[in-house]
Every structure is written in structure tokens, then in C-alpha cells.
Structure 1
């Protein structure tokens, strides 16, 4: 299984952007520190990344998988380039990659309890 389940936006001001999405769409966010917030509970969720050192060139689509190591191998074999090695985040692990056209995406595996 692999499904698009998350989009992360690089933002200058997390609080301001949270307020915008609350007013415009009624979305509420959970804060994860001072520079990250995310929606939860939907079929696809939105993350707001205020840490400039972690920004991607644009919105980051995140693809959920069941086996992150197997998917990393498949991406490399298909010509993708890993741009950020696997790291832990609240709720799972993920890595970033570029497809052959240079688009940056991420793969995430949620923690299973």
C-alpha cells in the first residue's frame, strides 16, 4: 500500500498561517514545538513547517507506506535520489527523495502500536 496522506508547507509564520487556515477552512492544528503544527484525523493532513533549515523548495507531498526500507530501495532502483535519510518524527519515520524530474517528495511509515 502507498497513498498520499500529507502535505507539508514551508511557512514564515506558523501562528499566522494556522490562523489563516482556521478562518478560511475551519481547520485546527496541533503544535509540535514552536515551529511546526499539523492537522490530524483526515484522510490527508497538512503540516506547517516554520523551521527554515528544514524547508523544501515548495510544498512537500508525503506518501505513506507500510515498509519504509523496501520503498527506499525501490525508489533508488527506479532512479530516485534520496535527499534526506530516514529520520524519526512524532508518530513515525520518513525520508525525502527527488524523482527523475527533480520534484522533492517524502515517504513516511507510521509507528504501528
Structure 2
């Protein structure tokens, strides 16, 4: 592995980018900014991208299809994150529950996508 490659944030054979369809890209940006402090870069009126430490992604105009992928986010304070999701307009689909290895909850965003948040 070269020095340049070792400094690359991309992890071999790991999820690197997630793209969502959204009926309202600006609403999606507002929701994810309020819930998770995501930062966005707009590429025209129909596309916005977010950059994370581990996974990048974007939102483009279109009609979402529920149930295709479950994206799971990590939180150091799951209760606070759940409160932020609710305050931003998300709907809790499964309240916080325990599973081997931690706790998590599921929510739907304003476009109807179901995501999960987990914590130790």
C-alpha cells in the first residue's frame, strides 16, 4: 500500500456512497442537518451531496421506494439522537431496543425512508 493510498478515507470493499431519491431535496437537507449535523454541497437544483468520515452520499430528485436498503447510523448518545430526529420531523418506526452488541431504534424520514441508529 502506498502512502497516498493509506491516507485515503475509502475502505476497500466497504460502503462508500449512498444515494437517496427525495421528493424535496431541500427538505431532506434540512432534516439531516437538524438530526445529524450533516453538511451538504449542492450540484444544481436536483442534487445535493453529503460527505462523511466513512460514507459519502447524496440526494437527487425522485420518488423514494421504501424498504430497499436499511442504512444504519452510529450514535454516542442514542436518546439525544432520537430526540433530534423527532424534533426534525422524523417518525419513530421502532423505539429504542436492545440487541446483542448494543441498542438501536428505527425511524422514517420525511420522504418515508426507514433508517436505524445504533449505539453501544
TM superposition score normalised by structure 2: 0.45
Bigger strand share? 1
TM superposition score normalised by structure 1: 0.47
